[in-house]
Structure 1
Amino acid sequence: MAITAAMVKELREVTGAGMMDCKKALNETNGDMEAAVEYLRKNGQAKAEKKSGRVAAEGLVKAVIKEDKVAAIVEVNSETDFVAKNDDFQTFVADVANQVLSTNATDVEGLLSEAWNADAAKTVKEALTEKIAIIGENLNIRRFEKITAENGCVVSYIHGGGRIGVLIEAETDIINEEIKAALGNVAMQVAALAPKYVSKDEVSAEYMEHEKEILKAQAKNENPDKNDDIIEKMIIGRLNKELKEVCLLDQTYVKDGDLTVAKYIAQVAKETGAKLSVKRFIRFETGEGIEKKEENFAEEVAKQMGQ
């Protein structure tokens, strides 16, 4: 039976497997789609290790919350955005997030050695290896965090279909939809403006000294004729401006430019009668810090389909 590009495309959409793996599976099963899916499951395992060296810089961030108190956020990477949109991959990422929600592991290595919640007969690492074999790309559970709110609640926000994920832990004596909606707004602020700290109280002396040295060098280069007293005043002004950008509570609230985030939270607290404060946030952005390989996907497809 002649294997068409449409058949390869259909199998890839169903399984998320690599293009040439799909083509081979269809050839081996004489075009039988169900048999080809089974073939990929049975024969892809040995290829997983070969894929492990390839750069996985796409993927998804997923967050799950239990009873407003316990939350997990995880980043799972794939090689391409195509696979990141695959239903099978998305289900796997959701399963990983739920695994993190119940784990006692403190790092990825510990998580990988655990029994897989979705199938206790295998470990998380074995489940990951199996998924690599089926999908046909290198996949990587890159990082995770878990929060347990002792005196308040946790809310999440996912931006861009999983491109950015945020958890906000708040201390509050009232937990209702109004409070959670307000914290959701703060989570969107974190996603959009990527602060480094909740407040100035978290900024280390080392960070301050490092930034002051940089700002001092910039100021002297720009104003070689200014004396040290003037340079010092310039540094203080610039440092305060920078702190307003990197500290969440000092940022201008994106939904109301007349408020800072701190003033917005105080406004919500007054309106609801709650004692409300942001304790911490976690922000994951898919692939941040990973060097991505530039590829021409159209040329790759044309080359592979011509073989």
Structure 2
Amino acid sequence: MAITAALVKELRETTGAGMMDCKKALSETDGNIDAAVDWLRTKGLAAAAKKAGRVAAEGLVGVAVNGTSGAVVELNAETDFVSRNEDFQTFVSEIAKLGVVANGDIETLKTTPFPGTSRNVEEQVTHMIAKIGENMNLRRVASISVEKGFVASYVHSSIASDLGRIGVLVALESEADAAVLEGLGKQIAMHIAATNPASATVADLDPELVEREKAVLTEQAKESGRPDEIIAKMIEGRIRKYYEQVVLLEQTFVIDGESQVKAVIEKAAKDAGTAITLKGFLRFELGDGIEKEEKDFAAEVAEQLKK
């Protein structure tokens, strides 16, 4: 029997197994869906389907750097325990490296062949779900690069090399020595991990955020009852303060607690004898934005005792 794309799609939706595994199962069972499901179950590859509905908000953030390019990925699992599994750690590290090659595109990354297997990355995630026994989700990937310079990295709450709960990449464009850029970049990355800026520069800041802040400040200023020209100056000053809170280059550097980040870069450039430009940064925090399922532990235990 011919194995059609429709059959493969149906089997994937039924079992949650990878495309190549579904093709093989259908080939082995002459296109019989029920028999193919059983074939996948015997191989442990259909187990992923039962776990697909469970919330995956733990896991790891991984970073990978190759000189002037870098990528950061987030692979979620259900429990913090899995992040300490060496197989899971190795898997995330490999995906981060592939993320550099995929230029930070999630769909390209998912279809990239996974080294040492006949599966692509997306299919390997399904394989790992069956192997480890928890739902997983390759949630996001992003990359950054410079033509000349260095991409530095930092991982906060590190559990293994380049793996942890917060991953940061900083891209510095310059003719300066790579060691100088790496040291400066890592310090800036540590700062970013701590402060979570909304943008690198004032120009990059989302206009909607600025307008929302101005609206709030305007209402506050009007309550003072002062003249319009005074209110305008009050808002201008407060917006500058707002920039100092949320824009990276305007923030006070956490390492020394005194200088603005832009001043730190300017000093480093002066010492190096050549220009250093911050081209951008990436910051991933594990589980950021995921709605975690709230569980009543006592009720959960009582439910288990009923079984």
The TM-score, its normalising length taken from structure 2, stands at 0.78
Q: Which residue of 2 aligns with 1:145?
A: 142
SS of the residue aligned with 2:167? strand
Structure 2 unpaired stretches of 5+: 1-40, 159-163
- CA–CA separation in structure 2 for the residues paired with 1:186 and 1:160: 17
User: Which whole-Å deviations, capped at 9, do the CAs of 1:202-238 have from their partners, x for residues lacking one?
Assistant: 2354443232112223434xx2534433333322222
* Shift, 1:297, TM fit: 6.2
* Shift, 1:126, TM fit: 1.2
* Shift, 1:301, TM fit: 7.2
- CA–CA separation in structure 2 for the residues paired with 1:272 and 1:123: 44
**291-300 vs 257-266, which deviates more?**
291-300
Change (3 A) 1:135 1:173: same
Judge conservation of contact 1:95–1:118 (CA < 8 Å) in 2: no
- CA–CA separation in structure 2 for the residues paired with 1:305 and 1:177: 59
SS of the residue aligned with 2:295? coil
- CA–CA separation in structure 1 for the residues paired with 2:298 and 2:85: 19
- CA–CA separation in structure 2 for the residues paired with 1:86 and 1:178: 35
**Which among 150, 157, 163 is matched to residue 154 of structure 2?**
157
* Shift, 1:275, TM fit: 1.6
- CA–CA separation in structure 2 for the residues paired with 1:281 and 1:305: 49
For 2:152, the aligned partner's letter is V
**131-140 vs 287-296, which deviates more?**
287-296
**Which among 126, 140, 144 is matched to residue 129 of structure 1?**
126
User: Which whole-Å deviations, capped at 9, do the CAs of 1:119-173 have from their partners, x for residues lacking one?
Assistant: 2x11211110010111111111111112232021101000012110000001110
Q: How does 1:30-41 map to 2 (within 5 A)?
A: none
Q: Which residue of 2 aligns with 1:246?
A: 246
For 2:71, the aligned partner's letter is A
Q: Which residue of 2 aligns with 1:108?
A: 106
* Shift, 1:71, TM fit: 1.1
**Which among 143, 168, 172 is matched to residue 170 of structure 2?**
168
SS of the residue aligned with 1:94? helix
The TM-score, its normalising length taken from structure 1, stands at 0.78
Change (3 A) 1:290 1:177: same
Q: Which residue of 1 aligns with 2:270?
A: 270
**175-184 vs 275-284, which deviates more?**
175-184
Structure 1 unpaired stretches of 5+: 1-40
- CA–CA separation in structure 1 for the residues paired with 2:45 and 2:297: 25
For 2:294, the aligned partner's letter is E
* Shift, 1:83, TM fit: 1.1
User: Which whole-Å deviations, capped at 9, do the CAs of 1:252-289 have from their partners, x for residues lacking one?
Assistant: 11111221111111122222223212110011101111
**Which among 190, 193, 196 is matched to residue 194 of structure 1?**
196
Judge conservation of contact 2:249–2:262 (CA < 8 Å) in 1: yes
* Shift, 1:113, TM fit: 2.3
Change (3 A) 1:64 1:301: farther
Q: Which residue of 2 aligns with 1:7?
A: none
Q: How does 1:38-53 map to 2 (within 5 A)?
A: 44-53=44-53
Change (3 A) 1:129 1:305: farther
- CA–CA separation in structure 1 for the residues paired with 2:290 and 2:220: 29
- CA–CA separation in structure 2 for the residues paired with 1:199 and 1:111: 29
SS of the residue aligned with 2:151? strand
Change (3 A) 1:306 1:133: farther
Change (3 A) 1:111 1:276: same
- CA–CA separation in structure 1 for the residues paired with 2:172 and 2:216: 34
With a CA cutoff of 8 Å and minimum separation of 6, indicate the structure with the bigger relative contact order. 1
Is residue 2:292 matched to residue 1:295? no
Q: Which residue of 1 aligns with 2:87?
A: 88
For 1:289, the aligned partner's letter is G
Q: Which residue of 2 aligns with 1:178?
A: 180
- CA–CA separation in structure 2 for the residues paired with 1:42 and 1:94: 29
Judge conservation of contact 2:146–2:279 (CA < 8 Å) in 1: no
Change (3 A) 1:204 1:47: closer
Instruction: Tell me how many residue pairs correspond in the alignment.
Output: 262
Is residue 2:71 matched to residue 1:62? no
